[in-house]
Amino acid sequence: QTHKMDMNAALAGLSEGEKQKFMVMLEEMQMKEQVTMYNSLVERCFANCVNSFRQKTLDDKEDKCVKRCTVKFIKASARAGQAFQTVGMQLPGGAG
């Protein structure tokens, strides 16, 4: 909530055109971050779980490994995001 107010305060001095450009840039940055996270997930789980190329589909062991790896990666990413948010709030100018 406070982060949103800070964003609105930062945008207050900009023209509508500048606000729109900023929002497009922000959306592009978020999309790039999501693609980077997805690529990292795929690379890590593939490297950890797929051991052979005997068949074109994953065997049961590989499939379970990939699912477990994906869940762990997503949970770890969420925890890291929460930790960064907490640290950001504790910095000068933050909410805490």
Kindly report the pTM of this predicted structure.
Answer: 0.61
pLDDT tens-digit profile of 43-93? 999 999 998 888 889 999 999 999 999 999 999 988 888 887 787 777 665
Residue 56's CB is within 10 A of a number of other CB atoms, namely 5
pLDDT tens-digit profile of 27-43? 999 999 889 989 999 99
Residue 49 · residue 65 · CB < 8 Å: yes
- 96: pLDDT strictly greater than 60: no
Instruction: Give dist(CA 75, CA 65) in Å, integer.
Output: 15
- 5: pLDDT strictly greater than 90: no
